[in-house]
Amino acid sequence: MEIIVNLDVVMARRKMSLNELSEKVGISLSNLSILKTGKAKAVRFSTLAALCDVLDCQPSDILEFKK
């Protein structure tokens, strides 16, 4: 079982760069990159909410559970 991070897919659909998202959400590029590549061990709800607000999406668009 694993959690798949689809942040790169959502960003591509919105035509938003990592730099632009970092500035709008207020997350460092390095932390956003760690999240985008799926290497993050945890995500704060406040971070997830900010990402969803800026990307105009739902948490399920960013995170996916696979068995």
CATH top class, domain 2-57: mainly alpha
From the number of C-beta atoms within 10 Å of its C-beta (0-12, 13-18, 19+), residue 2 rates as: exposed
What is the pLDDT at residue 41?
93
- Extract the tokens encoding 54: 């800026």
Instruction: Report the predicted TM-score, pTM, of the whole model to 2 decimal places.
Output: 0.91
What is the pLDDT at residue 10?
97
Report the alpha-carbon distance of residue 20 to residue 7 in Å, rounded.
Answer: 14
Are 1 and 65 in contact by the 8 Å Cβ rule? The answer is yes
DSSP state of 6: -
Q: In this model, does residue 45 exceed pLDDT 90? A: yes
Q: Provide the CB-side half-sphere exposure for 38 (13 A, CA).
A: 11
